[in-house]
Each structure stands twice: as C-alpha cells, then as structure tokens.
Amino acid sequence: MPQAFVLAGGSRSQLGLLRQARALGHAVCVIDGAETAPLFAEADHRIVRSFADVDGVLAELAQLGIEPVAVATMGSDQAVLPTARLAERLGLPGLPVRTAEIVADKRKMRAAFEEAGVDSPPGRELSNLDEARQALGEVGVPAVVKPVDGSGQRGVTEIRSAEELQAAVERALAASRAGAAVLERYVSGDEYTVNGFLLDGEYFPMSVTRRRLHPPPPLGVCIAHRYPSNLPPDGERELFRLADATSRAVGIESGPSYVQVRVENGRPWTIEVGARLGGGKDAELAKLVTGFDAIRANVLWALGELSRADFDPGEPTAPCGQVRFVVAQPGPITRLDAAPALELDGVHEAGFYWQEGMVLPPLTSGAERLGYLLLTAGDETELDARTERALEALVVEIAAEQLV
C-alpha cells in the first residue's frame, strides 16, 4: 500500500507544503473539490472531492489504496476544521478538533478570548436585523459586521451609523454558511500579523509584519505584508506575548499560529487567530528575513517529528522584505506573465492566482487579488524601488468589460 502525505486543498498557497513534504521523501496526495486546482499538476495522487467531505475522502483514500502518513493544510481557514477531523479519524498528529471548531467560528473564538481575558474588541453574535440593532446599541459605532465563518474579508463591513446596519448585516449573513454574524467595536490603528509556532505548549515567536490595507471598500483587504514592522523591540515583544495568550485561549498547544492585531493608541488588540500558516506567503517571507523555516516545521509537526531543535533559525537572506499583492481592474484576463519580474534583483517569487481566460471580478475580498510578489532588499528604500520595478515588469492584460 503506497504511503502519502495528504494535503487538504490544491491552491497555490499549499505549494510550500507540497514541496517540503516531497523534499523529505514523501509522495503527496492533494484533495480539492475543483478539477482545475493548480497543485493537481504536481501531485503524485489526487482526489477530486471537497475536503469538507471527510467520509468521502476516507473512502477514496481506501479505494486508491493510499496509507496517509500525515494530513496538513495552510493558507485557508476553511480547510482547518476538515483537516483536524481527517487527522483524528486517521489517528495522525494534528490540531485537536475542539480547537479547530473554535478558530473556525468567530462566536466560539470571541467566547474563548473573553474567558481567557485576551484583549479583543467587544462584540455580540447575531442572526437577524433585530439582534443586530440590539448589539449595535451595546457596542456603539464605529463597528464592524462580519460572518462567523468567513475568510479573506468576505462579507465584512465597517459601519459608522445605524443607517448602514441593515446592508452590512445582509452582506455578512449572505457570506456565512452558518447564517450567523458578529458585530464588534471597530478598532482603528495600524494592523499587524504576528506569526508563531507552538510545540507542547511552548510558543516560539517567528515574525511581526505590518499589514498595508487596500483603501475601503472593501474593508481590511491586505495588499502587503512588510518586514520589519518598525515597532520598537518592546512593542514587538508585547505583540508576541499577546499572540501567545491568544493561541492558548483557543487551545493551540502545538502547531502554527497566525494572529491579526491592531494597535490603537498604543494598545494592542487581538482581532482574530488562525491555527495555520498564513496564505499570503507569510511563512516564505519569514524564512527570508528571519531564517526560520515554518513550512518545514509545519510538515514535521504533521508527521509527528517536530522537535525543539527545529526552531533554531538559519541565516536570513536580507533584513527587509515584503509580500506585495497585485490588484487590477476587473474584466476578462487576456495575458499574464510573471517571468520578467522574476528576472529582477530581489524578487524571489512572482505569480498569479487567476489564469488567462478567466474573468477577474471587482475587488470585494482577498479572493479577488490578481497575484503576488515576494521580495527582499537591504533597506526599505531599496525595497520600495524593487517593488515598483517588479510591478511594472509584470505583464498583465485585462480587456475592458463589455456592457450588455
């Protein structure tokens, strides 16, 4: 019976896991509900089925005669809970299902934060407009309404007055599979991503990056992760302490931790936590600027082979770096080519999430970003210059939409 490292999800965000698992000598089986999933082309085995259908996936693994040695995912909150359930059914290492259920539902996440005393914006859950009006009366404006099980900023709206509430609630409920939303106090200030890893309850800090956001609307869509954060050392240590407490609050004892934080008037607030590596090349950036290989750590953790020695960082490539997402006008995509950008100094990766022949929709969430660049430089001035040259080098041709 052939053995395989199983990946839940076949998007480009999983590519690092696939390559690292293969580098450690494992065949890879990719599970995705879309026949066009990009990683199917590189997989040793593929299962065209939604990874949320755990029983169906187990049946197909048995039919193919595949013995899973590990189950992993990164980049998507949607795959965290199915991955935990699959690992539990197979008796493999992974995130506890209870923890996965908490991070997959913002109602449970908020309750865990409150119970543990984690600084997070006050909020209330809701399933209809009357409950939303009551929540707004308690929380006040400005506020933000979001689906309990959304990701990539889908269905998220900031409201500044009661008149904006109904449209925001409708948008959030439409984006929620559970038909529920949360309304929270809107925290202003600079936003950061705090990346870390845990092993047997010990938190290992990885990186703090500044999040540069696209001007709303849409709300909160990240267009760059930038390192260094430009926070003072004490400020970064405070964010790592908050991320540690946040991770423990939801039950992460071992595995990756991805915490979004906002600093308002010098006070950091946890916005949310993911029990996964980020999908925006966060781990790849961290390796370049800190030397720590979180993707390798993730693979070893899924295999049950991660040890404390694996957290010793290597030599960083450069002191500054960023992931810069590419946004573009909506319309039919006629040509995409990242090769010219990849030839430039400091560009480590460049690629597109969309393909020629597709129609790029308007930007309403992170899902409509066209592509990305991963760059490093010796200082921030050089980083800005390299980013601009790389953006100009990308070949992007999108036809004007035809009105009918």
Q: Which residue has the tokens 């938190």?
A: 203
| Shared-domain flag, residues 178 and 214 | no
Does any domain span residue 288?
yes
Q: Which of 368, 155, 191, 164 is nearest to 264 (CA)?
A: 191
Residues 6+ apart with CB under 8 A from 357: 332, 333
The reported pTM is: 0.93
Does any domain span residue 58?
yes
Q: How many CB atoms lie within 10 A of CB 327?
A: 13
**Token digits for 288?**
């370049």
Phi/psi at 73 (5° precision)? -155, 160
| Shared-domain flag, residues 67 and 17 | yes
CB 285 within 8 A of CB 373: no
What's 265's domain CATH number?
Answer: 3.30.470.20
CB 119 within 8 A of CB 239: no
Does any domain span residue 108?
no
Sheet holding 181-185, edge to edge: 123-126, 181-185, 143-147, 157-159
| Shared-domain flag, residues 401 and 341 | yes
How many Cα atoms sit within 13 Å of 360 on the Cβ side? Answer: 28
Q: What is the dihedral sign for C-alpha 195, 200, 201, 203?
A: negative
| Shared-domain flag, residues 313 and 197 | yes
**Token digits for 302?**
């899924």
* Residue 21: burial class (beta carbons within 10 Å; 0-12, 13-18, 19+): buried
Residues 6+ apart with CB under 8 A from 266: none
CB 196 within 8 A of CB 280: no
Give the per-residue pLDDT at 77.
Answer: 87
* Domain containing residue 224: 187-317
| Shared-domain flag, residues 143 and 259 | no
Domain's final residue, options 257, 283, 317: 317
Task: Give the start-end residues of each E strand in 157-229.
Answer: 157-159, 181-185, 190-199, 202-213, 222-227
Give the per-residue pLDDT at 1.
Answer: 74
| Shared-domain flag, residues 196 and 279 | yes
Q: What is the CA radius of gyration of the chain?
A: 21
What's 139's domain CATH number?
Answer: 3.30.1490.20
| Shared-domain flag, residues 282 and 381 | no
Burial 328-341 (b: 16+ CB within 10 A, else e): beebebeebebeeb
Give the per-residue pLDDT at 401.
Answer: 59
Does any domain span residue 109?
no
DSSP letter for 179, please: S
| Shared-domain flag, residues 204 and 306 | yes
Helix, strand, coil share (%) of the chain residues, nearest 5: 35, 30, 35
What's 31's domain CATH number?
Answer: 3.40.50.20
List the pLDDT tens digit at each of the 404 positions of the chain: 799 999 999 998 899 999 999 999 999 999 999 999 999 999 999 999 999 999 999 999 999 999 999 999 998 888 999 999 999 999 999 999 999 999 999 999 999 999 999 999 999 999 999 999 999 999 999 999 999 987 777 889 999 999 999 999 999 999 999 999 999 999 999 999 999 999 999 999 999 999 999 998 888 899 999 999 999 999 999 999 999 999 999 999 999 999 999 999 999 999 999 999 998 899 999 999 999 999 999 999 999 999 999 999 999 999 999 999 999 999 999 999 999 999 999 999 999 999 999 999 999 899 999 999 999 999 999 999 999 999 999 999 999 755 43
Give the per-residue pLDDT at 12.
Answer: 87
Does any domain span residue 98?
no
Strand 45-48 vs strand 67-72: parallel, antiparallel, or unpaired?
unpaired
Task: Give the start-end residues of each E strand in 73-213.
Answer: 123-126, 143-147, 157-159, 181-185, 190-199, 202-213
| Shared-domain flag, residues 304 and 323 | no
Domain's final residue, options 290, 317, 344: 317
| Shared-domain flag, residues 223 and 254 | yes
Distance, in Å, from the CA atom of 167 to the CA atom of 190, rounded to the nearest integer, reads: 26
Region for 127 from its dihedrals, namely left if φ exceeds 0, alpha if ψ lies in -120 to 50, beta otherwise:
alpha
Does any domain span residue 99?
no
Residues 6+ apart with CB under 8 A from 25: none
| Total of domains in the chain | 4
Query: Which residue blocks in 53-92 are alpha helix, DSSP H?
Result: 54-64, 80-90
How many Cα atoms sit within 13 Å of 233 on the Cβ side? Answer: 0
Does any domain span residue 117?
no
| Shared-domain flag, residues 205 and 311 | yes
| Shared-domain flag, residues 212 and 233 | yes
Domain's final residue, options 74, 92, 110: 92
Does any domain span residue 268?
yes
Give the per-residue pLDDT at 404.
Answer: 37
